[in-house]
Amino acid sequence: MYLAQNLKFLRERNGEMQKDIAELLSVSKQTASVYEKGEIEPDIEKLIKLADHYETTIDDLLRKDLRPPKPMCARNLKHLREKNGFKQKEIGDLIKTKYSVVSKYESGQVEIPLTKIMQLADFFGISLDQFVKQDLSEAEHEQKNM
């Protein structure tokens, strides 16, 4: 089930605070927080309010990951870093950014700036097209199976 992560994603995408959702559902801020953590689930009436508020279905709220897919360059950064045995700190040092930002790049939370993409592609010896368009982990998997 995707309810907890969807609630947090939709709330943040709409620029809302947990207190806003708490007011919408007539619950405490702490209750709204535990919904997002997945510790408890709202009852059906609250699910209906949430689905209506976010203009989605209860089905999608519960069963579908509503977050946008992680960009290919984010997936490739993580794959290349791990494949080559680098730590996030080492990549951060290379592109002159904090390792915590590298973590956000890899998770797709923060878009990788073009200048950093160029540095990384050069460092790993791949083209920009490969870095941003091609799933490098799949390409390697396919090569191994040939």
Indicate which CATH number applies to the domain containing 53. 1.10.260.40
Quick check: 79 and 137 in contact, CB under 8 A? yes
Do 42 and 90 belong together in one domain? no
Do 132 and 85 share a structural domain? yes
Q: What is the pLDDT of residues 42-56, one digit of tens each?
A: 999 999 999 999 999
Among residues 140, 101, 89, which one has the least CA distance to residue 81? 89
Q: Is the same domain home to 12 and 44? A: yes
Asked if 61 and 6 count as a contact pair (C-beta separation under 8 A), the reply is: yes
Residue ending a domain, choose from 63, 96, 113: 63
At residue 129, what is the residue type?
Answer: D
> What pLDDT was estimated at residue 105?
95
Q: Are 105 and 125 part of one and the same domain?
A: yes
Residue 10 sits in which domain range?
Answer: 3-63
Which spans in 26-135 are helix H? 29-37, 44-53, 58-63, 72-83, 88-94, 99-107, 114-124, 128-133
Helix, strand or coil, per DSSP, at residue 95: coil
Q: Is the pTM of this model over 0.75?
A: no
Tally of domains within the chain: 2
Which pLDDT tens digit goes with each residue over 5-53?
A: 999 999 999 999 999 999 999 999 999 999 999 999 999 999 999 999 9
